[in-house]
A and B are shown apart, each in its own frame.
Chain A
Amino acid sequence: MAYVDWMIEGPKIASCNCDYGCPCEFNAPPTHDVCEGLEAMEIKQGHFGEVRLDGLRFAAAYRWPGPVHEGGGIVQGFIDERADANQRDALLKIVSGLEQEPTTAFNIYGSTIEKEYDPVFTAIEFRCDVEARTGGLTVPGHLQLSIEPIRNPVTGRPHRAQIRLPEGFEFREAEMASGTFTGTGEIRFENAKCYAFFTYVAYGPQGVIDVRS
Chain B
Amino acid sequence: MAPRITEGVTLRVNGAAVTMPTGASVAAAVLAAGVTRFRRSVLGEPRAALCGMGICFECRVTIGGRAHERSCQIVCAEGMDVRTDD
Chains A and B bind each other? no
Measured CB to CB, the residues of B under 8 A from A are none
A residues in contact (CB < 8 Å) with B:
none
